[in-house]
């Protein structure tokens, strides 16, 4: 299938891209690697008047340290992270997750900022970055603001991006060496969009945990306390409260029993990994 006609611009800087965006009166779409937008254009689900291609912007291919955090440009690709071309402050979590996104040919062009902006509930970064407590930097002609990924994702394909705003960077907080991470997803075949996914972060030093259940038709379910483990972080596997997880899914609108079973099973796998 072929895309409908559009005008195309490749600005030479972020500010030029923002100018184009501001002048387009909502008729423009930003494109980075185009691995989500490309299919939607070909299927004509999206028919913008103008595409602003930011993939080549050097400003968005940067890597900076900010204290213990790592701030990476929105146009870094999944393959950049998978191959370790940027430092990893997450004890290998970022590398591992990126290696499981779609296929290598897609990872060579697909970007982390693009994936977040697209906000597909089944996207690995939405769930993972929420669990990691990552932040996202939004830039517009008026200035810039930082949001937690959990605030940024507002629903299926819905983000907090305002008109004229662009995702320019992702802030990755450093994980302490003692932190434990578990991740699981259910796909019919490797690389396919997941029907269920879960990320589990346990920080024993701070007696803190964060559980994220993704790939549901809305924002991921985030459990920031240890209620899923009966209030303690000892014996995670044995303490895992499947009924509570099931009720949370029910409350989030997952009404199908089989779907909930898959979600709970995937969560149990992620917990088992974090507990191992």
Partner 1 sequence: MTTIQLSVNGTATETTVEPRTHLADLLRDQLDLTGTHLGCEHGVCGACTLLLDGAPARSCITLAVACDGATITTIEGLDEDEIAAELRAAFAREHALQCGYCTPGMIMSARDLVLRLDSADEQAIRVGLSGNLCRCTGYVGIVRAVRAVIEARRQRGIAAAIGAGRTSLGPVGSQPAAIATTTSSAPRAMREMEADRNVAVRTLDIPEAVPAKSFDASFIVNAAPAQVFALFGNVRTLAACFPGATITDIPAPDRIEGEIRVALGPLAAAFRGAARIDRDETNLSGRLVGMGHDQRSRTSTSGQISWRMVPIDEGRATRVELAIGYSLSGPLAQIARDGFVRDLAARITTVFAQNCDKHLNGATTQAASEQPQRLNALALLLDVARTRLTVLARRLRRQ
Q: Quick check: 268 binds partner 1 (CB under 8 A)?
A: no
Q: Quick check: 108 binds partner 1 (CB under 8 A)?
A: yes
Interface residue with partner 1, options 14, 18, 30, 35 (CB under 8 A): 35
Q: Quick check: 49 binds partner 1 (CB under 8 A)?
A: yes
Q: In the complex, what is the shortest distance from the CB of residue 231 to partner 1, in angstroms, rounded to a whole number?
A: 39
Q: Tokens 């920080």 correspond to what residue?
A: 203
The neighbour count for residue 199, using CB atoms within 10 Å, is 29
Q: Which of 154, 159, 182 is nearest to 97 (CA)?
A: 182
Q: Quick check: 65 binds partner 1 (CB under 8 A)?
A: no
Q: In the complex, what is the shortest distance from the CB of residue 142 to partner 1, in angstroms, rounded to a whole number?
A: 19
Contact 64, 106 (CB under 8 A): no
Rounded distance between C-alpha atoms, residue 217 and residue 226, angstroms: 24
Q: Quick check: 109 binds partner 1 (CB under 8 A)?
A: yes
* Helices 242-251 and 257-275: angle between axes, nearest 10 degrees: 130
Query: Closer to partner 1 at the Cβ: 10 or 195?
Result: 10
Rounded distance between C-alpha atoms, residue 88 and residue 191, angstroms: 23
Q: In the complex, what is the shortest distance from the CB of residue 102 to partner 1, in angstroms, rounded to a whole number?
A: 7
Interface residue with partner 1, options 14, 18, 30, 60 (CB under 8 A): 60
Query: Closer to partner 1 at the Cβ: 75 or 254?
Result: 75
Q: Quick check: 144 binds partner 1 (CB under 8 A)?
A: no
Interface residue with partner 1, options 14, 18, 30, 33 (CB under 8 A): 33
Stretch binding partner 1 (CB under 8 A), from 51-59, 227-235, 251-259, 265-273: 51-59
The residues in 162-191 that bind partner 1, with binding defined as CB under 8 A, are 189-191
Rounded distance between C-alpha atoms, residue 80 and residue 110, angstroms: 10
The neighbour count for residue 217, using CB atoms within 10 Å, is 11
Interface residue with partner 1, options 14, 18, 30, 52 (CB under 8 A): 52
Bridge partners (DSSP) of residue 198 are 184, 213
Q: Quick check: 206 binds partner 1 (CB under 8 A)?
A: no
Rounded distance between C-alpha atoms, residue 253 and residue 247, angstroms: 10
Interface residue with partner 1, options 18, 71, 75, 199 (CB under 8 A): 75
The neighbour count for residue 207, using CB atoms within 10 Å, is 10
Contact 201, 180 (CB under 8 A): yes
Burial class (CB in 10 A: 0-12, 13-18, 19+), 117: buried
Q: Write out the residues near partner 1 by the rule CB under 8 A.
A: 1-12, 20, 23-24, 27-28, 31-35, 38-39, 41-45, 47, 49-53, 55-58, 60-61, 63, 73, 75-77, 79-80, 82-86, 102-106, 108-111, 189-191
């Amino acid at each position: 299938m072929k895309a409908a006609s559009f005008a195309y611009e490749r600005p030479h800087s972020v500010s030029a891209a923002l100018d184009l965006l501001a002048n387009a009166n909502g008729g423009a779409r930003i494109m980075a690697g185009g691995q989500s937008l490309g299919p939607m254009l070909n299927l004509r689900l999206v028919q913008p008047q103008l595409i602003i291609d930011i993939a080549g912007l050097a400003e968005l291919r940067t890597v900076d340290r900010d204290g213990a955090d790592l701030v990476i440009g929105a146009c870094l690709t999944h393959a950049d992270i998978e191959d370790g071309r940027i430092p990893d402050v997450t004890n290998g979590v970022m590398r591992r997750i990126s290696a499981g996104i779609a296929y290598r040919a897609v990872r060579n062009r697909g970007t982390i900022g693009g994936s977040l902006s697209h906000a597909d509930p089944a996207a690995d970064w939405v769930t993972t970055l929420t669990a990691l407590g990552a932040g996202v930097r939004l830039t517009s002609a008026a200035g810039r603001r930082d949001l937690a990924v959990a605030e940024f994702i507002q629903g299926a394909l819905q983000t907090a991006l305002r008109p004229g705003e662009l995702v320019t960077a992702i802030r990755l907080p450093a994980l302490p060496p003692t932190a434990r991470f578990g991740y699981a997803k259910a796909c019919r075949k490797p690389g396919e969009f997941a029907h269920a996914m879960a990320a589990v972060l346990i920080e024993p030093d701070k007696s803190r945990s964060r559980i994220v259940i993704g790939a549901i038709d809305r924002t991921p379910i985030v459990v920031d306390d240890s209620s899923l483990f009966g209030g303690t972080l000892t014996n995670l596997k044995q303490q895992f409260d499947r009924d509570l997880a099931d009720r949370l899914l029910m409350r989030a609108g997952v009404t199908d029993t089989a779907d909930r079973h898959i979600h709970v099973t995937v969560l149990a796998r992620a917990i088992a990994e974090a507990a191992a």
